Structure 1
Amino acid sequence: MTNPREVLTLIDNIRLIHSDEQRRDLIRSLEKVDRPTILSFVNVHAVNLCWSSATVYDAFRASDVVLRDGIGLSVAMKALGIQPGLNMNGTDFIPLLLQTLPKRRLAVYGTATPWLERARIHLENTTPHIIADMLHGFHPAERYLESARRHRPDVIVLAMGMPRQEEVAVLLRQSLDHPVLIVNGGAIVDFMARRFDRAPAVLQRLGLEWAYRMAQEPRRLYRRYVHGGFRFARNLMLLRRAASARSTGAQAQGV
């Protein structure tokens, strides 16, 4: 178990993006990484996972750049007195990032055939990158490390789902010796392969893409979205108490 103050620290560590210019600045900084660098996305599911597992919490805290993903975390941040900024969900930002970065050697580790091969075709048609390496998402973690050492990609997209991809990302960051951007992408490769469709634009604007996704995969996502939503509501109350206690303590120290 992770305590509320630790989870609050994770939320504090999210890089908030408030404008298109800040988003462009972020992409420019990710273009110039000089060491293994992890980009992660925190949503309601991530917070719930971190709450119940110190190992998962440590994996997220090891990320170099953390972005806010989803309306649930926006609501939570507002309740904590934080302006949440733009929704930087990976389903939109990762394609933008890959299309904007100059030509790179790209590795994709995740999902399964035939979706992985279909994602290759999509990436070859929509980005300037060389596809240096592709592996499905069910190998032991050491297999990805071995392959990344051999192919030395400039960008690695992990599409294994939370929390496995975050844990693999930490292994890669600790073990690789060349500059590489490691992106925790969730279901991004499945979306590229058109295994799943995005919600209609009106549902995206209303913050209801989660409901559309659950309709596509009810058996897998019902527990995450419905049960997880109730868990997060309880966790948010504890986070607000922790934030209030922290503020009171800071004020007492300043007196």
Structure 2
Amino acid sequence: MNKVLIFELITILNIIFAVSLLILQIWRSYLGKKLSLTSLVLNFAILVLLALQMLKTFEIQIFVISTMLVWVLVLIIKQPKSDIQEKTINDTLLIEQAREQERSRIYANLHDDVGAKLLELIYSAPNEETKSTAKEIMSKIRNAVATTTNIQCSVSQLANELHAETKLRLESAGIKLEFESIFENHKRSLSNQIPATISRIVRELVNNVIKHSKASMARLIFSETNDGITIVLEDNGIGILKTNHGKGLSTIEKRVKSINAEILCESQRNKGTSYTLKYQYDAIHSNH
């Protein structure tokens, strides 16, 4: 008699354990978690065997087994829907990523191809009318690109664009340019606002070099670390008096402030001028 009671007690405990596992599977299913069909089938098989041993009448056995079978079928039917939802989310992310890459490609082409050709035309135009038209087109392209949202630009792409434009402008003015770039993560990407603003700042600094420095040589250094970007533009000119560049730097400082960056200008008479622009990655949201 004791053996029978012990056997029945063990059977009851096994049923409780198997039912608990089945309930856990059901709960995970409704939470959207992916189910293990193998585990589900094993739980069902255990419950069937235990029910056949424990339950006294055939009708009750059929009822319990049928109920459990319905639950298993519901979970199996529900599982593909969960997989489909997960696949749909992944497909949506892939589509958005493809769109982002296409926008970045268009952005790069506008700057590298069309932008470079327009700059060349601006500084080699035979007359003012042609130069003015090229400048107007260049301005419209920059505005169109600047207003496009969610475009990403890598730091290496930004450095290459700054180098190409600065070299063309300075050499057109008879100033030789040396360029140096240092990267810790050249693939790091920045939102469109940052590279666009940095490009405008450097463009204004180059204007100052061309207009006021009387330099024969300039140097552009682009340095990228895990903390941020540092850009140095220095020349071997006569130095710049405050009366010559006060208004220009005021405009530059407004742009610098808009991205929470810093700029430093050091100039000595007949020893040249050095501009240092520092932008920290945590200043405005950036993507890593």
Scaled to the shorter chain, the TM-score interval is under 0.3
Who wins on radius of gyration, i.e. which is larger?
A: 2
Using CA pairs under 8 Å that are at least 6 residues apart, name the structure with larger relative contact order, 1 or 2: 1
State TM-score, norm by structure 1. 0.25
